[in-house]
Amino acid sequence: MTLASGDPDSTEPTFRTGRRPSAICTIPTMKVTPTPTAAYLSGVVHSRRMGRTFSIGDMDPDTFSRIKNYDETVGRLDHYYGVVKRQLIANQSFMTGQFPESSAERVVSDVRTSLYCAFSIWCLHQAYKRIDDDRGKTFELGQSVVKCMRGILRSWMKQADKVERFKANQTTHNALHSKFHLVTGDEVLTCEQYNHLQIDVVSLYLLFLVQMTASGLQIVFTIDEVNLVQNLVYYVERAYRTPDFGMWQRGSKYNNGSSELHASSIGLAKSALEAVNGCNLFGDHGSSQSVVYVDIDAHNRNRTIFETLLPRESSSTSSDMALMMAISFPAFGTHDQLLYSKTKSKIVQKLRGRHGFKRFARDGFGTVLEDSSERFYKDSTVQKFERIESEWPLFYMYMIIDGVFRSDKKQVDEYKQLLRPLIHYDRRTGEDSFGAASNPTLPQYYFVPSEHLSGERAEPGSQPRFASAVGGPGDLFLWGQAMLVVTELLLEELVHINEIDLIRRYLPSYNRPRRTTRYSAFQGTASDLVVQVVLVAESRRLQAMLATYGIQSQTPKEVEPVQIWSQKQLVQVYRNLGVNWKLGLEGRPPRPIGALGTSKVYRISGQTVLCYPLIFDSTDFYLNHDMALLIDDIKSEIQFVGRYWRLSGRPTCCLIMKETHMRDTNFRKMVDLLAMLKTGSCEGVKVRVGRLQNLMSSSCTEHLDFMDAAEDWGVEPEPFRELANKTVGYQSLTDIPTATIYNETEPLTIQELQHKSDHELQHIWRGISTLRGRSYILKLLLDRHGPDYQLEGVTVHQRLVQLNSEAGTLRCWSVLRFCSSLLGRVVDSISPYLTAILVSGKQFAIGVIGQPEVVIDKPLTPAEIESLFFGSVRPLDVIQAVLQQELVLCSGRLILTRPDLFAGILTIRIGWFLQAMELYSRIEGREQPIAEMAPSEVRALLYNVLSLDSNSCNISITPRQQRQIDGCLGRSPRNLHSSVWFILGRTAGGLTIGQRHLPQSPTITDMTVGELRFAILVNDMLAQCPQPELRQIVVQLIALIATILERNPELSFRGCIELSQMVDEAHRLYLKDGGEGGTTSELDGFFQLPPSATAGYLARTVVHHLLTRPMTALDDIDATAALESAAASPQLTVETILSYPPPSLPSSDSPEPPELPATQSSSSWPGGILTEFLGTVLSEDGTT
């Protein structure tokens, strides 16, 4: 008999002694009916080991205390059994097993509430498993859990068609529903009536399914259900790029019907994928056919995006209580202590109240001001909810559970004391069969009554709050009641954390118990990882040549019986996983296998397979023709695998060496890389290069046993074949014929050719030899007649494919890009990098300069990306349609590894980035257009432009050139947005640039200073500047205005500030002082001035506007005199403008913007103080 074991993994019977921890709820004194075991022990205890009978008087006090505690344990469990029966199971649907959101609801079930109710009942089920004689309660509770989980699965099975559509197109109309009919389990609310797209709900189901299956419950019965669960995995795998409506079903915090990426949804998806990977849904009785598989690269993308978003919840929500459920119980989505602490402290600081936590700032749910009849809010609605948001005591319990899992007694005691007075008791029920005379109830939330709204806004936390109607005895809030039971069981030590987290989610992967399984598991090691590398040469000739440099490799024949596959062939195999024609499910979508997935060794139907990475695939896109780029990608691949590998066993990377590589001019660099790998290190990552046969035993091996039952593999896989050589092997690199560097000068232009007839073009085709000229002809024929038009017996499409291949061989990059664009080629796996840009708090815009841009602020599918590039860019510039794809790929890679390079850049405008790169290239003295550069050169050029500050010592750059590059990049100082916010607060008419007006209201009433939406508005206003240099001058002007208004609190603007007009006036002052420039409309000379000089002219203009334009009355006569004197001075000195002490700005807790950086605290300001302040904006040498 095992009673109240402190460690459920222990095999020895143990008894709890000492005083039981205090609970939150007050449990009334009750009469405990002795169980047969307890009654037996209370009389005579028979010891089989001792072979004698003795009375209770023979027992020592410790033994007597243990027996007494056992009776108490049974009594307390029976009490919670009664609570669960009356409050939870009584509200469970007798047909579907699901639960409503509140006990008063009789029609609609809520999946999230159902899951937490099932989890609560399961926790009590786990607690009863400690008791020998539980009188059938363990089984009864377990069956209630099974019925609920199966009811949800059955409802989703009816929507299998939505699952299949969602795998291809992640839209709201394809989403699984999160509410069903309580009795029938059918759809009850359409997607137009309710926001069903909630990734966290499906992820929570998977997470709890694994936990409950691990406890021995049989939830999944058939292979059809296994296939559905496998497809649910596909459903959540792309959470990292799927905007949803989040845990609160509202999407954006403005509740306007728009969805967005939520960190909580991504975190739960990441945790669910970790949990379900390798899980056998039939438990210990299952076969290989009931095992669930997870794409490790999809998991890693979710992890990367999740940790990038933290501590934010989304673009509109800075902090959200939903994050607590992602970083702690039940998901435990991150084990990065710094991220966890930062996110948690931000939640506590911003959302904690006296009656619970707010869900998020400006949440109108439950407030007296919210119009419950309106599904969505109108503009400027959320501002009225500020500081009066409802407080939810439910979240105190999550903080208690978090403290229990982290053994933080101080936190547990703190929130236990806060929660206790919020619990109500329903004493209307008398003594019943479960021995309880009271039912604890918890209100859903506490709200501020209308008569106390103004006082609460003035002093948060000072006014009384009333409990909501939901959560009372007549209408229980079931989510809260479920969590109350879980919290009490943990606090009273009736259940151990290891019993409700059987898979040890709360531990880092390297601290979890090792699973003995045929399938890969997230059980990585915390120590330095060794990446195994296998070099496979395409031919014996190449192998012999590499051997002369001491580099050992194997040919495909030498690694037999192991086969070398491309990742594309592995994708075809995975298409068989989860196929179920009865449900209309077609298996895994054809998504590429990433670097982590190709680092496993696979066992497939008796065959052993090793896949080479995507970078070695002969893809349609042209990047694989660049050897220098391939070398960089190999280094990045090994670093990536070494950093993010978390599976049991070592990763094994297969590097393919082809003879075409040998003829590349950069192949010597490849040999240098291979020699570096031989030393055992690659860019700080430990590497072991060896024969595949010697590395197999320590590799991570994945058994794809589902293929054993596959009737048809589809396309028979073609392994990587050895190339037969008829000639003698090369002795050294000097013997290898290298590829010629192709250069051509095309006398014809496409403008000249476009007026030719088809007959004339065909005649020119026969006599033209240049690649560029032929590509022009094919482009014109393609536009006129389409890809199937015959040109000398061959279609235009086939001609383009041939020309593309020829240009790739000759490394003619401009023609290669031109043909790739005409063929509609899209770079592989661009979507994850696009998402990386977005979740970094940035957006990007594609388009050609001078034409309308398409701004992307949400993740897109590959089909949508293709449509944008070839629909918006190619009609205007053929080459930029693919060149801009390159930049998205490079920017996505850089932003993951060097986010500091994008500091101050909110919108990555790809067309303007190319312009900045052209400018930098000309400054360096290069005449080669970017279109003719190799992809590796384009990547290096982008890096140099973004890191211009650190490279400025190696290049001579003028102030205007600096402004041009920074303006093209859209780089702004760190405090630009707070400066604009500060100015708007003192300018009734707002700000204007060109045709874009930024009003004071509703901007500062509907938004907050740190909000991404406000930053985007400011950025869009600056984008109206026609010249990049002008943009940076305007940025400098904004900083000046904010500084002057900050140091002179008695000043403010009444009218609208015309920023462009102020710059023009400053330019006229410059011309008046003898500055260079022909007309007032040509600002070239002004742009060439250093920042300190432009600051003087801009400041004089601002003072002139303050004195001559409508503004508020000046109470201080001395301030007026000072400004008049300053304006009259031919050479303005700034110390008179900034000679007054700064105002008392609001504290950091206020929604007002923080104080701008002060350069000195003294009231005496030196003459160069403005330049000193602008040191954070524009320094003396013109850099940003």
Q: Characterize the bridge pairing of strands 563-566 and 607-612.
A: parallel
At 42 the pLDDT is 32
Tens-digit pLDDT profile for residues 333-362: 999 999 999 999 999 999 999 999 999 999
CB 830 within 8 A of CB 889: yes
Alpha carbon 87 to chain centroid distance? 38
At 1122 the pLDDT is 40
Of the listed ranges 662-676, 700-714, 735-749, 929-943, the least confidently predicted one is: 735-749
Q: d(Cα 197, Cα 177) in Å, to the nearest integer?
A: 7
Q: What is the 3-state secondary structure (H, E, C) of 1036-1061?
A: HHHHHHHHHHHHCCCCCECCCEEHHH
b/e 1025-1053 (16+ beta carbons within 10 angstroms → b): beebbbbbbbbbbbbbbbbbbbbbbebbb
Instruction: Name the pLDDT band for 767 (thresholds 50, 70, 90).
Output: confident
At 739 the pLDDT is 55
Reference 891, options 931, 943, 933, 944; nearest CA is 943
In 683-757, which residue ranges form alpha helices assigned H by DSSP?
Answer: 692-695, 750-753
Q: Characterize the bridge pairing of strands 585-586 and 579-580.
A: antiparallel
In the predicted structure, residue 699 carries a pLDDT above the cut 60: yes
Of the listed ranges 84-98, 399-413, 1059-1073, 1133-1147, the least confidently predicted one is: 1133-1147
| Average pLDDT estimate for 408-432 | 81
- Widest distance between CA atoms in the chain: 116
At 862 the pLDDT is 80
- As a whole-number percent, the residues of the chain with pLDDT over 70 amount to 83
Q: For CA atoms 229, 232, 234, 236, give the dihedral sign.
A: negative
At 427 the pLDDT is 61
Q: d(Cα 249, Cα 6) in Å, to the nearest integer?
A: 39
- As a whole-number percent, the residues of the chain with pLDDT over 90 amount to 54
| Average pLDDT estimate for 70-85 | 90
Tens-digit pLDDT profile for residues 820-839: 999 998 887 788 888 888 87
At 753 the pLDDT is 86
Q: d(Cα 677, Cα 14) in Å, to the nearest integer?
A: 54
At 402 the pLDDT is 97
| Average pLDDT estimate for 852-857 | 89
Distances (CA, A) of 379 to 249, 251, 256, 912: 19, 15, 8, 33
Instruction: Name the pLDDT band for 21 (thresholds 50, 70, 90).
Output: low
Q: What is the mean pLDDT of the chain?
A: 83
In the predicted structure, residue 1107 carries a pLDDT above the cut 90: no
Looking at per-residue confidence, does 528 or 653 come out higher? 653
Tens-digit pLDDT profile for residues 124-134: 999 999 887 78
Tens-digit pLDDT profile for residues 99-112: 999 999 999 999 99
Tens-digit pLDDT profile for residues 966-1003: 999 999 988 899 999 999 999 989 999 988 999 988 88
| Average pLDDT estimate for 670-690 | 91
Tens-digit pLDDT profile for residues 284-299: 888 888 999 999 999 9
At 1124 the pLDDT is 43
In the predicted structure, residue 649 carries a pLDDT above the cut 90: no
At 738 the pLDDT is 56
User: Which amino acid is residue 98, in one-letter code?
Assistant: Q
In the predicted structure, residue 116 carries a pLDDT above the cut 80: yes
The predicted model scores a pTM of 0.84
Instruction: Name the pLDDT band for 651 (thresholds 50, 70, 90).
Output: very high
At 734 the pLDDT is 53
Reference 320, options 356, 344, 294; nearest CA is 344
Looking at per-residue confidence, does 378 or 21 come out higher? 378
Alpha carbon 752 to chain centroid distance? 49
CB 615 within 8 A of CB 630: yes
Distances (CA, A) of 1117 to 254, 835, 1121, 1127: 45, 56, 6, 15
| Average pLDDT estimate for 790-801 | 92
At 620 the pLDDT is 67
What DSSP string describes 662-690?
HTSTTHHHHHHHHHHHHTTEETTEEEEE-
Of the listed ranges 73-77, 581-585, 661-665, the least confidently predicted one is: 661-665
At 837 the pLDDT is 86
CB 401 within 8 A of CB 331: no
Instruction: Name the pLDDT band for 1165 (thresholds 50, 70, 90).
Output: very low
Instruction: Name the pLDDT band for 113 (thresholds 50, 70, 90).
Output: very high
In the predicted structure, residue 766 carries a pLDDT above the cut 70: yes
| Average pLDDT estimate for 763-768 | 88
At 597 the pLDDT is 93
60 Cβ contact list (under 8 Å, min separation 6): none
Tens-digit pLDDT profile for residues 603-623: 988 889 999 998 888 666 788
Q: Quick check: helix, strand or coil at residue 44?
A: strand
At 1036 the pLDDT is 94
Tens-digit pLDDT profile for residues 241-276: 899 999 999 999 999 999 999 999 999 999 999 999
In the predicted structure, residue 14 carries a pLDDT above the cut 70: no
In the predicted structure, residue 465 carries a pLDDT above the cut 90: yes
Q: Quick check: helix, strand or coil at residue 595?
A: coil
| Average pLDDT estimate for 19-32 | 52
In the predicted structure, residue 652 carries a pLDDT above the cut 70: yes
Distances (CA, A) of 243 to 194, 261, 294: 16, 4, 21
322 Cβ contact list (under 8 Å, min separation 6): 200, 246, 247, 248, 262, 264, 313, 359, 360
